Amino acid sequence: MQIELNEEQLLLRDTVRRFAAEVVAPRAKEIDESGEFPREFFARAAELGLAGVAVPEEHGGAGMDIVSYCLVIEEISRVCASSGVILSVNNSLVCDPILAYGTAEQKREFLVPLASGEKIGCFALTEPGAGSDAAALRTTARRDGDDYVLDGSKVFITNGLAADVAIVFASVDLSRGHKGITAFLVPTDSPGLSRGGHQYKLGVQASGTTELYFESLRVPARFRLGDEGQGFRIAMATLDGGRIGIAAQAVGIAQGAFEEARKYARERQQFGQAISEFQTIQFYLADMAVEIDAARLLTWRAAWKKQQGGRYSLEAAQAKLFASEAAQHVTNQALQIHGGYGYTREYNVERFFRDARITEIYEGTSEIQKLVIADQILRA
């Protein structure tokens, strides 16, 4: 495994960093306050190939590797975590499973517009009674001629307010537990699908999180993704990739907060000197830098492992667990370095602090990551 980025990756990182500074950062505070879904950001990101970073060009994507995908999510999240997760969901939770399990027709009809950013997608797994216990979902899919008829509801769906396509997980037979779960590609303008309103949250305010409701929603059988009963495995394997994206998002949030804290520490004068002259602040910054680097390396390692093919659940869970907890510590310390000003909305650091928190929850809580890690290491 090569740890240094290659020329293509460095060029991509610099291009995305510039795009983030010029296009994403100026609106980050505003969309955090208004909760407005940044459609224009998604369209402009898509022009750069960021809607389907690792999707082959023949399917509408940019044809890059998974480490490149991590660089994209980190750089965007470094200035705006909402924008970071919007891209992450479209890339890894929506494009990836269609690429892996879709038929040629599904790739043409769904993947090409999603990976090119003409459309945006969401991943509809979680339900009011099925969060960590994803297999307990109650949404049903009943076969009726050439269609399935879906009934049920989903909660906490990132991109839900804006999505044109939802990957919906529903059971064809509740008595079969996870073996009944089946995945469907559902255009969100289908009759029988409705959405909730904007969900006000602690952070990532602009991620379009909402509920989805299905009432006698007819989905053509040709839109079934994979086989009947394969949906739970599709969801789990997809989440392995998603967790790498969230790890990269956490690294980006931590890096953004670290940079704000370093700048502030150099500028802020107390007791007759810049606070960066105090060893306590230097130790804080040193610890933060080490945690961020360790999180980034675990994230790149997981990305590299995914690129090799085969299962990478262990590496993805390790990266997500460590990076999300690092983001929590680093944003907390960054706020502490800012003192009273850090607690105000005048500085970005309070937003980073709020945004970091969700990375320990979505796409599997830290506790779920530990279950996955324990399961994998006890199998070895």
Of 133 and 346, which CB lies nearer to ligand CAA in the complex structure? 133
Closest CA to 212 of 190, 199, 195, 191: 195
Is 330 or 368 the residue whose CB approaches ligand CAA more closely? 368
Nearest C-alpha neighbor of 196 from the set 225, 157, 167: 157
Structure token pair of residue 42: 């998604």
- Residue whose structure tokens are 């979902």: 137
Assign 3-state DSSP to the chain and report helix, strand, coil percentages, each to 5.
Answer: 60, 15, 25
According to the binding rule CB under 6 A, does residue 374 interact with ligand CAA? no
Q: How far apart are CA 233 and CA 193, in angstroms?
A: 25
Can residue 377 be called a binding residue for ligand CAA (CB under 6 A)? no
Residue 97, φ and ψ in degrees, nearest 5 = -65, -30
Least distance (Å) from ligand CAA to the CB of residue 72?
16
Q: Which of 75, 315, 363, 367 is catalytic?
A: 363
Which stretch in 189-197, 334-342, 343-351, 366-374 sits in contact with ligand CAA by CB under 6 A? 366-374
Does the active-site annotation cover 363?
Answer: yes
Query: Does 239 engage in binding with ligand CAA (CB under 6 A)?
Result: yes
Structure tokens at 22: 């010029």
Contact status: 247 vs ligand CAA (CB under 6 A): no
Q: Scanning residues 99 to 158, which ones bind ligand CAA (CB under 6 A)? A: 123, 125-126, 132, 134-135, 156, 158
- Cβ distance to ligand CAA smaller for residue 86 or 288: 86
Q: Which residues, in sequence order, are CB contacts of 215 under 8 Å at separation 6+?
A: 151, 192, 194
> Taking CB under 6 A as the rule, which mask of x and - marks residues 163-182 in contact with ligand CAA?
---------------x----
DSSP structure string for 332-353: HHHHHHHHHHHTSTTSTHHHHH
Q: x/- string (CB under 6 A) for ligand CAA, residues 194-233?
A: --------------------------------------xx
Please give the Cα distance from 66 to 22 (Å, whole number): 24
Q: Which residues bind ligand CAA (CB under 6 A)?
A: 85, 89, 123, 125-126, 132, 134-135, 156, 158, 178, 232-233, 236-237, 239-240, 313, 362-364, 368, 371-372
